[in-house]
Structure formats: C-alpha cells, structure tokens
C-alpha cells in the first residue's frame, strides 16, 4: 500500500468497511486477480481518484469552454419559455457551468467504472493464462509425485517454477496457506479452489482434495488429469487452427479480392462518367481496407490462446 492509497484509506476507509456486501463481486474479483490491495483500500482509492480526475478535467474543460466562448456559439431560433429569455444574456456563464458539471460527472464516472472493472478484467486474463499453462503444470506435478515427493512439497516446487505462469501463482498460494497460516493441505486446496478464476484449476484442486480425503492414489489422479488436459489442449489447438484457416480465407476473399474488384469497378465507372472526385473509391482505399484489416487483427488477437 503506497502513500496515496494510505491517504485514501484514512479518508474513507471506515465508510468502505460497510460496503462489502454491496461490492461483493468487486471483492471476489480482487481476490481472483491476486491483487495485493485490500478491498477497503482499493474502493477508497477508486472514490478519491474519481473525484480528483473528474474535478481536474472539469476545470480544464470549463476553462477551455470559457476562453473559446463555446456556449455562445450555440444558437437556438425556436420558441422558448418566457422565463428563459432573460437568461440569454448570461448564456456564456450558464453554459460554462453546465459543461463543467457535465465533465465532472462524465470523467469521474469513467474513472470510477475503470477502477471497478479492472479487477474483473485482470481476473479474466489470469483465467486464460491458467487454462493455457495448466496441462503443462499438471505434467510437472505428475512427474514430481511419481518420484515420491509429498503433495505439499509438489505444490511448493510448482510455485517455484515461473515457467508455468499463473498456475505457479496458484500453487504458491497453496504453499502459503500451509507454510504461513499452518493449514493442512486439504484446507489450503479448498481455499485456493474457492478463489481461483479458472474453472479448470478449480476442478483440478477439488479433485485433489477428494482424492486425499478418500485416501485414494493421488499420483494416479495427477496422471489421469494430465492425460485429460493434454487431450483437451490438443483439441483446443486444432479447433483454433481450423478457425484461423477460415478467417484467413475470409480475409483473402473480403479484403483482397473484394476490395480489388471494387477498386477496378469504381475506376472504370469513374472513367466512363468523367467523375474527377470518386468518393466511393476514396472510401474503399482509405477507410474500408485499413479498418477492415484492423478488425481482422483485433479478432485474431482476441481469440488467440495464451502462450
């Protein structure tokens, strides 16, 4: 907790303690995202930051509107109620005040929404990373367990292996519950499974809990889950490659052959009609092709699995 967060907590911390139920989803997202900022501190920082950003932007935009006299540029020629007519002489002042208040609400609201949504977005990013690295992490766990290493030590070793990404982070939390808080392995797995954002990790940890509690062969359970997730991983990659092939064919058809056909057709029509300003041709070249290409890039980037 830095000095700014400490200041925000000192100002609003006591009031935020009573909002745990109201912001239950935010509290869960903070835990799932593994953010180290406590709930009351984070919510206090969100409120104070929203007020500061909203006020600063309102002052800047209000001064900008006053200097350029933007409200005076608005002319209304229709019928208005009689009590509004005397206010026309003060349109600059009234308009600047309204713009300032509107800017305060808009930018303050955007800042607050960004604070509220960020933990959920971060938790979603962690979920994708965990799902991508979990098959390889389970292979590692299976190898360590086959070698006769105790389950608690297996999770410690996995937590010390950064190559497994966020799966290692979840393993470190299991080891933390055991080493620092003195819980047994089952309780540690239960707590981490309740807070992890990945359903696959939750399923794996809950299965490990059931295997330990029932006295089953934990190594055999690890081996079965390793085979299962390896198969699912291959199927996911195959599905992605098939989808990528379909998208590439669509791009060639729509953005290469299609736009080339439109350019040739519009060029011929412009020559025949004598049009020296073919706006449609400009729209295809300067809008359709760049924006369409960006849309394909964003779509592929969004659906690409984590590596």
d(CA 188, CA 182): 9
Does 176 score more than 80 pLDDT? Answer: yes
Q: What pLDDT, on the 0 to 100 scale, is given for residue 282?
A: 81
pLDDT of amino acid 192: 92
Average pLDDT over residues 281-291: 85
Whole-angstrom distance, CA of residue 43 vs CA of residue 225: 39
Spatial distance between the Cα atoms of 173 and 191, rounded to a whole number of angstroms: 9
pLDDT of 279: 79
Q: What local confidence, expressed as pLDDT, does residue 72 receive?
A: 62
- Residue 58 CB neighbour total at 10 angstroms: 20
Give the mean pLDDT of 75-102.
Answer: 64
pLDDT at 118: 93
Residues of the chain with pLDDT > 90: what percent? 22
Q: Is the pLDDT of residue 91 over 70?
A: no
Both tokens of 130, joined, read: 């965990």
The reported pLDDT for the residue numbered 17 is 77
Average pLDDT, the chain: 84
Q: Is the pLDDT of residue 293 over 60?
A: yes
- In the chain, what are the domain boundaries? 3-122, 127-230, 235-303
Higher pLDDT, 206 or 232: 206
pLDDT grade for 22, boundaries at 50, 70 and 90: confident
Tell me the whole-structure pTM to 2 decimals. 0.74
Q: What is the pLDDT of residue 71?
A: 64
CB atoms within 10 A of CB 276: 6
Alpha carbon separation from 103 to 64, 87, 111 (Å, rounded): 12, 22, 12
């Amino acid at each position: 907790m830095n000095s700014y967060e400490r200041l925000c907590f000192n100002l609003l911390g006591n009031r935020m303690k009573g909002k745990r139920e109201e912001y239950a989803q935010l509290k869960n997202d903070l835990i799932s995202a593994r953010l180290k900022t406590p709930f009351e501190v984070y919510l206090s920082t969100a409120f104070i930051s929203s007020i500061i950003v909203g006020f600063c932007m309102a002052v800047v935009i209000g001064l900008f509107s006053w200097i350029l006299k933007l409200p005076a540029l608005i002319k209304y020629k229709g019928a208005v109620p009689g009590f509004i007519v005397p206010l026309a002489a003060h349109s600059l002042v009234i308009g600047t005040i309204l713009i300032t208040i509107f800017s305060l609400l808009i930018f303050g609201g955007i800042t607050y929404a960004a604070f509220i949504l960020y933990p959920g977005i971060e938790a979603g990013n962690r979920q994708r990373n965990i799902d991508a690295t979990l098959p390889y992490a389970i292979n590692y766990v299976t190898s360590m367990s086959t070698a006769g290493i105790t389950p608690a030590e297996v999770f410690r070793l996995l937590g010390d292996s950064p190559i497994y990404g966020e799966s290692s982070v979840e393993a470190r939390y299991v080891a933390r519950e055991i080493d620092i808080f003195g819980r047994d392995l089952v309780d540690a797995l239960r707590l981490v499974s309740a807070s992890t954002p990945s359903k696959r990790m939750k399923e794996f940890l809950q299965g490990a809990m059931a295997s330990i509690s029932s006295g089953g062969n934990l190594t055999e359970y690890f081996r079965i889950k390793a085979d299962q997730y390896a198969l699912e991983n291959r199927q996911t990659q195959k599905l992605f490659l098939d989808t990528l092939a379909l998208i590439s064919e669509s791009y060639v058809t729509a953005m290469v052959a299609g736009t080339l056909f439109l350019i040739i057709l519009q060029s011929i029509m412009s020559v025949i009609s004598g049009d020296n300003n073919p706006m449609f041709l400009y729209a295809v070249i300067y809008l359709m092709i760049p924006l369409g290409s960006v849309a394909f890039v964003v779509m592929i980037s969004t659906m690409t699995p984590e590596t």
